[in-house]
Amino acid sequence: MKMQLGEIASAVSAQNDTSAWNEIEVSSVAFDSRHLSAGALFVPLEGERDGHEFVQNAGKNGAVATLWKADHGEAPADLPVLVVDDPLAALQALSQHYLLKINPKVVAVTGSNGKTTTKDMVAAILATHFNVTKTMDNFNNEIGVPVTILSMEPNTEVLVIEMGMDRPGQLDFLSRLVEPDVAIITMIGEAHIEFFGTRDKIADAKLEITHGLKEDGTFIYDGDEPLLVERAKQVSQRQLTFGRQESDDMYALNVKGTDTQTTFFANEWPDQEMTVPMIGDYNVNNALAALSVAKLYRIAPQASAGAFTNLNLTENRAEWVQGSAGERILSDVYNSNPTAVKEVMAAFSAVATNGKRRVVLGDMLELGDQSDSLHASLETVFDSKLVSDVYLVGPHMKALYTALLDRFDQAHLHLYGTDEQAKLITQLKSDLTPEDIVLIKGSHGIHLENVLAALQ
């Protein structure tokens, strides 16, 4: 990003006279005053703390200008200020202005599971032929999407945007903000069911990603999901499906997996083996969604295969790391929901080991009134012949603990409160041997990344 303050003032409809500062050059935006680059425009957002309290700190750290909410009284005099009604709305308006200015193709990705991995795969494939910018980390909401847009280099040809949601209307807003050329829904699960009640309503909300889809755009979705097949009838744009059935436009053949990679062939290119450097058959569907984009942009199968081989994945999504005792740890601590747990448990339980398989699971959040029953439902994926010890963390995991009492004795089944991580870490360090493998998975709010760090 590189814009003069006068252009920014016009894009955000600044209310004050900015003519004295019009030629100041802005090279980035930031909403955290502690982490910004010299030349940044500071955006003071209101959350647990009011960002306006940190404007002076932003200036000390290199910000060259700041937004300022009109109802917050007199703005500071020692930093150029753009007075606006709402700094967040101004950030969004600025991102839309910049998006139109750079004018890349836009690929938007959502889904209950797999959206981050699919985003990474799509970006890797497209980067074999285009200059690509993609969503970093978890910047996938009303703040993160605009910040991602504004991080684009001027030569960006394709923008790959991940879109998250936790309420109806959120994807409608984000889709209309970016007006994607391609909209992808990876799958429908139970994530955020607390806010929606049913998978049907989750599917309705996910379909909002098509609301801003360009008229000549393409909708790509899981053709094996009846909830999406039915709703796709509402979408007039071109459609491509992926999945495991021959009725899908892109489907997988001859899927094989190990603990570190999964190989398959796609029907479109039956002579080209694809290797994804990830555990789990479920990641094949994410790859098929990415290959659907490859087909759309006429990228050769050899290039796609090479992109998969050299895939640069976002951290903490089912990645193997080494523990300090020599054990191998499958880290999947960013997020969790019932579908994701069942998928990764199936893959983990099949991994060969000379030691023991140990599973650490934290509460799955945002499941509402169905939380305890959904936690208990995970009982079906545990086989005491394959998994030695189970360590459960959080109040909702008590339901799974109770369900597993028939499968595991209490010496191998452990339950901890969210404030008992130190006790869990001590127990794990006592139990682990260099030959063991460990799965650690939970919703981010349970902070099992602390357990992971302690074991490393």
Q: What is the CATH number of the domain that holds 269?
A: 3.40.1190.10
Q: Is residue 96 part of a domain?
A: no
How many Å apart are CA 204 and CA 170, to the nearest integer?
12
Taking only Cα atoms into account, the Rg of the chain, rounded to an integer number of angstroms, comes to: 24
Q: Count up the domains in the chain and report the number.
A: 3
Q: State yes or no: 114 annotated in a binding site.
A: yes
Q: Based on the domain organization, do 300 and 341 belong to the same domain?
A: no
Q: Which residues pair with 305 in a beta bridge?
A: none
Q: Based on the domain organization, do 241 and 119 belong to the same domain?
A: yes
How many Å apart are CA 445 and CA 333, to the nearest integer?
10
Final residue before a domain boundary, out of 309, 328, 353 = 309
Q: State yes or no: 10 annotated in a binding site.
A: no
Q: State yes or no: 206 annotated in a binding site.
A: no
Q: Based on the domain organization, do 323 and 430 belong to the same domain?
A: yes
Residue 183: predicted pLDDT:
98
Task: Quote the tokens at residue 112.
Answer: 């209950």
Q: Based on the domain organization, do 139 and 244 belong to the same domain?
A: yes
Please state, in angstroms and as integers, the Cα–Cα distance from residue 132 to each residue in 155, 159, 297, following that order: 9, 6, 13
Residue 358: predicted pLDDT:
98
Q: Is residue 98 part of a domain?
A: no
Q: Is residue 95 part of a domain?
A: no
Q: Based on the domain organization, do 82 and 112 belong to the same domain?
A: no
Whole-prediction pTM: 0.93
Q: Based on the domain organization, do 165 and 232 belong to the same domain?
A: yes
Q: Based on the domain organization, do 269 and 331 belong to the same domain?
A: no
H helix runs in 103-143, sequence order: 115-126
What CATH number is attached to the domain comprising 404?
A: 3.90.190.20
Q: Is residue 374 part of a domain?
A: yes
Residues with Cβ within 8 Å of 131's Cβ and at least 6 positions away in sequence, in order, are 153, 155, 156, 157, 158
Q: Based on the domain organization, do 208 and 109 belong to the same domain?
A: yes
Which residue range is the domain that position 338 belongs to?
319-455
Tell me the Ramachandran region of residue 192: left when phi exceeds 0, alpha when psi lies from -120 to 50, beta otherwise: left
Indicate if the alpha-carbon torsion angle 139, 142, 145, 150 is positive or negative: negative
Q: State yes or no: 117 annotated in a binding site.
A: yes
Q: Is residue 426 part of a domain?
A: yes
Final residue before a domain boundary, out of 86, 120, 139 = 86
Residue type, 59: G
Residue 397: predicted pLDDT:
97
Q: State yes or no: 112 annotated in a binding site.
A: yes
What CATH number is attached to the domain comprising 46?
A: 3.40.1390.10
Q: Based on the domain organization, do 133 and 282 belong to the same domain?
A: yes
CB atoms within 10 A of CB 378: 20
How many Å apart are CA 317 and CA 164, to the nearest integer?
16
Smallest CA-to-CA distance from 187 within 239, 114, 100, 138 is with 114
Per-residue pLDDT of the chain (456 residues; tens, 9 = 90+): 999 999 999 999 999 999 999 999 999 999 999 999 999 999 999 988 999 999 999 999 999 999 999 999 888 888 999 999 999 999 999 999 999 999 999 999 999 989 999 999 999 999 999 999 999 988 999 999 999 999 999 999 999 999 999 899 999 999 999 999 999 999 998 877 777 889 999 999 999 999 999 999 999 999 999 999 999 999 999 999 999 999 999 999 999 999 999 999 999 999 999 999 999 999 999 999 999 999 999 999 999 999 999 998 887 678 899 999 999 999 988 889 999 999 999 999 999 999 999 999 999 998 888 999 999 999 999 999 999 999 999 999 999 999 999 999 999 999 999 999 999 999 999 999 999 999 999 998 999 999 999 999
Residues 45 and 89 sit within 8 Å (Cβ to Cβ)? no
Q: Is residue 94 part of a domain?
A: no
Indicate if the alpha-carbon torsion angle 418, 424, 426, 432 is positive or negative: negative
Residue type, 26: V
Q: Looking only at Cα atoms, what is the longest distance across the chain? A: 74
Q: Based on the domain organization, do 256 and 141 belong to the same domain?
A: yes
Residue 316: predicted pLDDT:
64
Q: State yes or no: 116 annotated in a binding site.
A: yes
Residue 343: predicted pLDDT:
93
Q: Based on the domain organization, do 245 and 219 belong to the same domain?
A: yes
How many Å apart are CA 115 and CA 184, to the nearest integer?
9
Final residue before a domain boundary, out of 309, 334, 365 = 309
Q: Is residue 130 part of a domain?
A: yes
Q: State yes or no: 429 annotated in a binding site.
A: no
Q: Is residue 99 part of a domain?
A: no
Q: Based on the domain organization, do 172 and 280 belong to the same domain?
A: yes
